[in-house]
Amino acid sequence: MRKYIKFILLFLFTAFIFWFFGRNLDLRQVSQSLRQADAYYLVTAVLIICLGYLFRAIRWKVLLEPITQSSLKELFATTTVGFAAIFLIGRAGEIVRPMWLPMRDPRVRPSAALVTLGLERIFDLAALACFFAVNLLWFTPPAGREKDFEYVEWAGILMLLAVVFGFVVLIIYQRISTRVIAWAGRITDRKFIPKRIQRIFLSILEQLASALGILRDWREFLSIVFWSFLLWLAIAVPTWLVLLAFNIPVTFSDSLFIMGFAVVSSVVPTPGGAAGAFHTATAASLIFLKNDIKYEDAAAVSIAMHLVYFAPALVFGLYYFFHGDISIQRFRSLLSSENAVEEMDENNGQLKMENGK
């Protein structure tokens, strides 16, 4: 019952943001601006975004290598299904990927998928922070906005510091993981903590320690960095192409600035892939750079950019969802945290039996 109430509240919040975003818009001008956009640039942007989803799947495969073998085909399918779920139901759809992949590829345990997706987010944050912060080194703020730009610079610096701190913590954990896991086992060995929950928690810590083996192997680490760079380049270039499609005179550096705001806003846990929040942040960042741009044109850009980012995942994701051998009821049940826990517990038990042979 609580999850339905939460979804309704998020839906109402999304509706409010959409109202706030479009309350003063001339929808005819927005529609006209969308019709006048250069289709060549938009189609090219969509194709590159599709390539980006493939890069994301390849990187996931590299992250899983210290733990288990995996299928690139199933990783790509799972990636698009997961992002389609995020678009349809919001950030609650994040649970789809770590639960979907083990059903498609039995070699991958839910805890392994969950841990590697956590590492994926860390590398995503690191890549975004580097793109955004390094770009600020030669970024020229609009005339009259120098004071406002100081806050943006501080945000970029804080993002970089957060990334450095995060990697330091991970490196330390990887080196002392045996002691940490033993300590966690003693702490969670309490009557009021179910054994099932304890086993899942310890399994996640063990899988995390295994996955962090990439930090000891510089070749694997550079491989992750390489694919992360290609992935975010495959997001940055389409961002620039969308802006060019609307005949907006911006540099690639400008597009990186806008991409930073667009991507950060996409983490808002509202249905529709952070719909409303994404559009507002993207349009606001564009207006920040170009004082002379019409609000309707900025809104049209944000709508097109949102579709370019998510439409490929929605198309591929729905295709793999309806052509898979997983029933809708089974899929819906896995969105429940209670069922997710049971699934993880069952798989972890199987893993222990296999290791004991």
User: What digits encode the pLDDT tens for the residues 204-220?
Assistant: 888 788 878 787 788 88
Q: Is 21 part of a structural domain of the chain?
A: no
- Average confidence (pLDDT) over 322-334: 62
CA distance 54 to 77: 9
pLDDT at 4: 63
Position 306 scores a pLDDT of 93
Nearest Cα residue to 3 out of 114, 91, 71, 101 = 91
pLDDT-derived band of residue 355, with 50, 70 and 90 as boundaries? very low
Residue 90: C-alpha distances to residues 80, 135, 266, 289, 319 (Å)? 14, 29, 9, 29, 19
Range of weakest confidence among 22-31, 37-46, 85-94, 121-130: 22-31
Q: Are 258 and 282 in contact (CB under 8 A)?
A: yes
Indicate whether 171 pLDDT > 90: no
Please indicate, yes or no, if residue 24 is contained in any of the structural domains: no
**Is 150 within a domain?**
yes
CA–CA gap between residue 112 and residue 102 (Å, rounded): 9
Nearest in space to 350 (alpha carbons), one of 120, 70, 68, 64:
68
Of the two residues 260 and 337, the one the predictor is more confident about is 260
**What percentage of the chain has pLDDT greater than the value 70?**
82
**pLDDT at residue 349 is higher than 50:** no
Following CA atoms 37, 38, 41, 45 in sequence, which dihedral angle do they give, to the nearest 10 degrees?
30
Model confidence band, residue 45 (pLDDT cutoffs 50, 70, 90)? very high
Average pLDDT over residues 84-109: 85
- For residue 52, the model assigns a pLDDT of 97
Residue with tokens 């399918």: 77
Look at residue 216 and tell me if it is in a domain. yes
Residue 22 lies in a domain: no
46 pLDDT band (50/70/90 cuts)? very high
Classify residue 42: in a domain, yes or no. yes
In tens, the pLDDT along 282-323 reads: 998 898 888 788 888 999 999 999 999 999 999 999 999 888
- pLDDT greater at residue 54 or residue 198: 54
Domain-located, residue 27: no
Contact between 344 and 202 (Cβ < 8 Å):
no
Range of the structural domain that residue 277 is part of: 2-11+38-356
User: Quick one: pLDDT at residue 316?
Assistant: 95
Q: How many CB atoms lie within 10 A of CB 144?
A: 8
Q: Closest Cα to residue 122, out of 211, 22, 207, 21?
A: 211
Percentage of the chain lying above the pLDDT 90 cut: 30
As for how many domains the chain has, the answer is 1
Residues 274 and 267: beta-carbon distance below 8 Å: yes
Q: What is the pLDDT of residues 217-254, one digit of tens each?
A: 888 889 999 999 999 999 999 999 999 999 998 889 88
What integer pLDDT is reported at residue 94 of this predicted model? 82
Asked whether residue 18 is assigned to any structural domain, the reply reads no
Task: Judge contact between 105 and 97, C-beta under 8 A.
Answer: no
- Higher-confidence residue of 325 and 55: namely 55
Among 87, 62, 82, CA closest to 72: 62
Residue whose tokens read 């409303």: 276
